[in-house]
Structure 1
């Protein structure tokens, strides 16, 4: 085997300087993909690579409004950066989202939670997630702990 050559079976794979992957142009010299200038491609990279990494596991944990708001601020920073904008450009968030064809982080998070909840509800009776949700419902404290329930 000669170093620098890659083959699959009898077919030799050519070495190239750059190639396209998921709408991004990957350069041989660097690890960071160069995203093409088309904003639709930038939005696609965000929706397929960045957002899933951020949202991984968030559908199963409680998130306060303050934490959700911070996540949305971070998301808007990333979206503006991908377009080469800053807040000084005074481009409204809705316009940035429209250009990149993305929805609000909070909306996508709620959608993801509903999907996960549906999986739990449709799962078998002995599924751990279903058992824990039933346990939490059964052990929920009264709305006013000082008030004794009447019998």
Structure 2
């Protein structure tokens, strides 16, 4: 007769009662399917995955008249989503841009350009109601954009 062990290094033998208890504790197909569905739902709701129905829009468009100094702006997010900036119209000098949440560096993105190209800091995940501080230097325009799920 075969012996069943508990899978440890010592190989303790399991009785039939112990084996039945272990089998009963295993998740059923329904439980596994429910766990998978919940994991997928949690992932989609986290904002970490782009899905069909994602919408993209510009939420703030800032024209810059004095590009040789830092131009800083704030925006309070009306909806949760992935926010990024698009800095265009590079001027003389090495353009740079940043964006962060609530004036903290916990969630921040910085980009330094080469003086000849548009740059795009981000994206960072922002919850509705959070304030974004963002700015740039040596650019003529700075747009704040968001990607969210369509309602």
The TM-score normalised by the length of structure 1 is 0.21
Q: Which has the higher strand share?
A: 2
| TM-score computed with the length of structure 2 as normaliser | 0.21
